[in-house]
A = this chain, B = another copy of it.
Amino acid sequence: MIHVVGHTAIDHISKVPHLPKANTSTHITDRQIYYGGGASNIAAGIAKLGEPVTLHSCTGGDFSGSEYDTWMRRLGVTQEFFVVPDAHTPTAFMFTDDNGDQMTFFEWGASRAFATAEAPALPFVHMATADPDFNCRVAERSEFVSFDPGQDVFWYNREQLGSIINNTDILFANQHEVKQMCETLGLTREMLIKKVDMAIFTMSGDGSTLYTRDSEHFIPVVPVKLADPTGAGDSYRAGFLSAYVRGYDPLTCCKIGTVTASYVVEHVGCQTHLPDWDAMKTRYLQHFGTLEVPKGPGVCP
């Protein structure tokens, strides 16, 4: 069972002719509602690939019985939710104008419950963006820890980030997050990599790099028609972790993550085009050749 800790969120993505200045208004020409939240995206991706997964999130009184709830249950994601009845499930409102400029309003809502929630001790956990202090407490108590700081990297102070990195086995980050972590910790990129067993740094459309104790591998992206890059990182992690618990070697796990992400970016939304294992395998074979059988027995915590 893979456990994933972090946000379950609802994204309202709207188009406007122009972004408003203070005390003015604008018209929304299109608004789509998508299922999101980093942890939820990862859990959904793992479930779709066929691995048992439990999602630890904070949700509001609006979640139970909602379409999102139904979707998660249908995927088979086990819910370990801290429910705050008088709050909303975290919600993001994103407005993009005709020039591609954006404004985002993020409602933390029920996620305030992380601050006082009891941190679970987990055998195999991925921690996505969430309350830094809660993530630190989970990392301290858990056995095998995978971590991506995500957009909340700025909320970690030096002590928190140092503590969580010390407890991290696999670190995922994009280039912005690597830079910010190095600044917060006062480390070089090389020093940061040495602090964990394995680091995977993603570079949007330019592929990713896997750093282990004694090697470095570059993994190119699978070329697809890009509709929306949002959710690429989350689905990469879903693919990697699903493969990792099945016993695949880290480089193959990265390739499986890359293939998983290639499906997600073909459609708008983070959970709208998740591949199952067979679909992933088909594209893997096309792009990376044979998918070798895992050498070990897999991680079965």
Residues of A within 8 A of B (CB): 14, 16, 19-28, 31, 88, 91, 93, 95, 97, 101-109
Contact = CB atoms under 8 A, between A and B. Distances in A.
A108 B25 contact: no
B107 A27 contact: yes
Which 7 pairs between the two chains have the least Cβ-Cβ distance?
A25-B104, A28-B107, A22-B101, A20-B103, A28-B105, A19-B22, A31-B107
Contacts of A109: 28, 31
B19 A101 contact: no
Nearest to A92: B25
Contacts of A19: 22
Contacts of A27: 105-108
A109 B12 CA distance: 14
A93 B104 CA distance: 12
A31 B106 contact: no
Contacts of A25: 103-106
A298 B22 CA distance: 47
Contacts of A31: 88, 91, 107, 109
Given A23-B103, A31-B91, 7 more contacts: A16-B105, A20-B103, A20-B104, A23-B102, A25-B104, A28-B91, A28-B106
